Structures are given as structure tokens and as C-alpha cells.
Structure 1
Amino acid sequence: MDNASDGSKGLKSNEEVIEELTRDLKSSCIKVDENAESKNTTNDSWDVLDKEKDNDSAQDAEPSDDAIEDLLKDRDLSLSEAEQEELKCEAEGLKQTGNDLFKNGEYVSAISQYTQALQICPLAYSKERSILYANRAAAKAKCQTEKDSAISDCTKAIELNSAYVKAYIRRAQLYEETNKLDEALEDFKKVLTFDPNHTEANHAIKRLPPLINERNEKLKTEMLGKLKELGNIVLKPFGLSTNNFELQQDPNSGGYSVKFHQNPM
């Protein structure tokens, strides 16, 4: 009995054996769970970043005016007259906010307000939309990088209201600022068909033609210079240059003939 009892002290009970076997198992399970949790956390963070990136991309991709108008066409079909009037009033409120921002020199914010107004104002209110485009053009004109876009807004305003003198004047000014003098002159002439006494337009149609002629002469000189350089390259292998040729105008017909001069020996 005593020997048996002593021997049993050296043996582990079933509970101890089970505890020892499961200790390592528990430890390994905890490590696996921790790794899985870490992996899941990493994936979640990437998912969030991806979502934020997608949101940023969506915000950066502003729809075009044509795309907005297509959406408005579909939307307006389901609106009652009262609902359209309500949206027009909302757009008017945004326009007024834009006007106030413009007066304070906050041109970028003003552009945003006019854009929001254009995105909700029903297409049936063409006069109101024309003014919104013209006002947005005025704000864009104050931003050096937005002048071409401002010209496009003026054009939209004119398409919606073909007798919109202020839009013609604004576009003419922008054309002149961007060195599109011919287009500016045409717009100023158009203004005079609506208002023959318009001071700025009358001054412009006297001021611009000499500037256009001066520009054209400069361009012609530059073009002839480049043609001369090219001609000298072509003629050089033959021992000739453009100096060997002279254009002579016929006083009667106005046409030109080419006279050849041989190099002196």
C-alpha cells in the first residue's frame, strides 16, 4: 500500500495531464486570434482609406454644366409648377449670397454659390439661369486662371438670352484680355446693334482695328522670317538663298511676281 502510494505521487492526475496539454493549445489559440485581429484591423484601416480616397475622387470630379443640364431635364419633368417656383426662389437666395461674396472680394466662394444655384434652378427659368451664368463669369474673370471658363459662361448666358448686353460686354472684355481681338471687336459691334450709344463699345470699335492690324503685321513678319529661314535651308545646297529672289507687286493687278537675282561672281 505504501509502495503503491509512493508510486502514485510520481504520477500526474488526469486533470493535470489535461491542463498541461491544453495550456499550449490555449497559448497558440491566443496568438492566432491576436494575429487575426491585427490583420483585420489592418484591412479595416485600408478599407477606410480606400473609401476616403474614393470620396475625395468623387469630390474632385465636378460634373460639367452639360451633364447637370441633362440631369435637370429629367428632374424637371416630375416637378409641379409650385415645386419649380420653390426651387427658383432657392436659387435666387444662393445668387444673392454669391453677389454679397463678390462684393466682399470672395470670388471663389461666390463662384461656388452661383454654381449651386445653377444646379438647382429649373431649366424653364432661362432668364434667371442666364444671369447666374453671367454673374459666375464676372467672378471667374477676377481669377487669372479662370478667364477661358468665364468666356464659356458668358457664351452660355448669351445662348439663354441673345439680347443680354452685359454678357456681350463682359465676353468682349475677356476676349481682349486674352488677346482674342477679332472676337472682342465682333462682340462690341453686336452691343451697338442693341445700344448704338453704348460708350465702351463705341470706343472699342475705334480702338481695336489698329491693334488688330498691328498684331497681324507682326504675325506676318514673324511668319515671313520663319519661311525665309526654311527657304535658306532648302536653297543652301544649290548655292542660293532667299536673297536671290525678290517679290514684285504689279500696280495694276495687285498680284506678285518673283524676280531672280544671280549672285555676283
Structure 2
Amino acid sequence: MPPEPETAQKLNEPRPDSSKDTDKQEYGSEVEELAPPSRFPPEEEETLLRESNHHKFVANTLFSSAKYENAINKYEEAAAICPHYLDYELAVLKSNIAACHLKLEQWKEAIKSATESLDGLSRLEKAEFGEKQAEGEEKSKVKEDGDNGVGEEIVSSGAQKSAPATREETSAEAARRKRQEDVLRIRAKALMRRARARSELGGWSSLSGAEEDYKALSTMTNLSLADRKIIQTQLRTLPPRTKAAQEKEMAEMWGKLKDLGNGILKPFGLSTDNFKMVKDEKSGGYSMNFQNS
């Protein structure tokens, strides 16, 4: 998938009296770093976002020209300029960076960038939609309580039949719905990119993670037909790959443990071959038997 094309308080505290903190400054026992402001003033935020979007536009152009390394640099510049609390805009940039790494077959880097994108979207959903959903439920409860009161308007049966079945969506509700759709769209892209990178990287852990990502994607309703076909194919082919990787890594681990055990037992004229694990069919547990060679 191509990169997402859409556009995505100053600290004014007085300097501390240096004479009071001479020991701290001299010995560095307590070094304080200036934290970024919780939010920039609206005008400054707009300026920073405009500059960030300019870098993103340049990065999109570089991506379209297959200049992926240069595109990554520009996307990272855009992310560095973008206010740190704009999780959606940053998630778009991180997802685009993941797309660049996929083109370069840099699987670990793609996984990292896609995960950062998904983490940002999770913070956004919790901060925005979680609180607003709670507010909506409270307003709905208040409305229900009000409807049970004695001040109801009496409406004729004819007027009731002619009334619309549902009320029109307010502009605020429409904007919120659009925001949720945008978040879900970027989440789907980031998940697809991370899932592919995990599948390509291989290994028990990565393949298990790819399975989890594709299972999450299979429940989403905003995917293209092509993406759905990829998901179905991966969910069919990944389980045997994951199992094979698990068995291989377990065998390698036991091999290393055996080498370690042989190193410990060698001074005593023994080896791990002198010990045999026997399974108890009744309990399912194992016991160790010593065999003198």
C-alpha cells in the first residue's frame, strides 16, 4: 500500500538562580531536562503542522519516485517537527515510514515503525473516543430520564407517523465519525505493513505476531478485496510455518542446553546421554532415569 496522502505552551518559566544550585550543577547529581510543552499555542501548532505537512508532501513525492531512503529521512523530519501530542498525524507518518522499510526489505525497521503507528492510534482512541463515548452514554441516560418526566409534548398519531425515523447527524457527530473512519483506515494500513514484515522476517516470535495481526485484520470491515485475499492466504499458510519455526527453535534450544550440560558433567565422566527423560502416561509428567554407559 502506498503512503497515506492526506494532510496531516512554550515554557516561559524564569531561569533558576544559579547561586542556589551550584552543587547540583557542579556535580551533576540532579540534571533536569526541559520537557516539551503539553500543548503549543494554536498559532504555533498550526505553523509546526504546516511545516510538517510540507516535509510529508516531499516525502510522498520521493516515495512515488522509488527514492525510499530519502523518503524515510523526510518523513522523519516531518515527525520531528510535528507536535508530539498529535497522535493521528504522527501515526500516519510512522505508517508511511514502515511502507518505505518494506520496499527496502528492512523487516525489523518496518515492524518498529508500524508498531509506533499503532501505539499512537491506541492512545488517540483512548483519549478521544473513549471519553466522548462515555459522554454520549451519559447524555443518553439524561435524555432517557427526561423522557420519563411529566413535561412531554403530546403529538398526534398522524404526526408521529410522518416524523422521520432517525434524526439527522449533527456536524460534530459527522466530524467524529469521519475521524474514527480515518483512524481505522490508518490502523488497517499499519497492521497490514507490520503483519507482512513479521511474516517476511520469520522466526517463531515474528510469525506468531504476524498471525495475531492477520487475525485482527480479518475482523475489520474497511479493507479492500485484494487485502482480504492476502489475509485469507496468510491465515492459511502461517500456522504450519509458525509450528515449524517453533519446533526448530525448541530443538536448537535443547541442543544448546545439552552442550551446556555436557560441559558441566564432563569432569565427572558423565554426559547428558546418561540421563533419559521418561514420560508417565498416566500423569503426563516426566521422570529422569540414570543410565550408566
TM-score range, shorter chain: 0.5 to 0.7
The residue that corresponds to 1:77 in the other structure is: 40
Report the Cα offset of residue 89 of structure 1.
Answer: 4.0
Match of 1:167 among 190, 193, 210: 190
In structure 2, relative to structure 1, the CA distance for the partners of 1:247 and 1:90 (3 Å cut) is same
The residue that corresponds to 1:103 in the other structure is: 64
The residue that corresponds to 1:206 in the other structure is: 236
1:100-150 superposed Cα distances (whole Å, 9 cap, x missing partner): 211211112211221222233345643332211111221133335x54333
Structure 1's unaligned 5+ residue stretches are 1-66
- Tell me the amino acid that sits aligned with residue 192 of structure 2: I
- Tell me the amino acid that sits aligned with residue 100 of structure 1: T
Count of residues in correspondence between the two structures: 190
In structure 2, relative to structure 1, the CA distance for the partners of 1:250 and 1:140 (3 Å cut) is same
How far apart in 2 are the matches of 1:120 and 1:239?
Answer: 66
Match of 2:112 among 120, 128, 152: 152
1:147-170 superposed Cα distances (whole Å, 9 cap, x missing partner): 433322212211232441110111
Percent identity of paired positions between Structure 1 and Structure 2: 36
The residue that corresponds to 2:100 in the other structure is: 139
Secondary structure of the structure 2 residue equivalent to 1:246: strand
Secondary structure of the structure 2 residue equivalent to 1:247: strand
How far apart in 2 are the matches of 1:168 and 1:214?
Answer: 24
The residue that corresponds to 2:17 in the other structure is: none
In structure 2, relative to structure 1, the CA distance for the partners of 1:220 and 1:153 (3 Å cut) is closer
1:236-255 superposed Cα distances (whole Å, 9 cap, x missing partner): 44444333332221222211
1:34-53 superposed Cα distances (whole Å, 9 cap, x missing partner): xxxxxxxxxxxxxxxxxxxx
How far apart in 1 are the matches of 2:81 and 2:264?
Answer: 62
Report the Cα offset of residue 189 of structure 1.
Answer: 1.7
Match of 2:201 among 173, 178, 195: 178
- Tell me the amino acid that sits aligned with residue 172 of structure 1: A
- Show the 5 A alignment for 1:209-248: 209-248=239-278
Structure ID, larger Rg? 1
Report the Cα offset of residue 86 of structure 1.
Answer: 5.0
Secondary structure of the structure 2 residue equivalent to 1:105: coil
Tell me the TM-score normalized by structure 1.
0.61
Q: CA RMSD in A?
A: 2.8
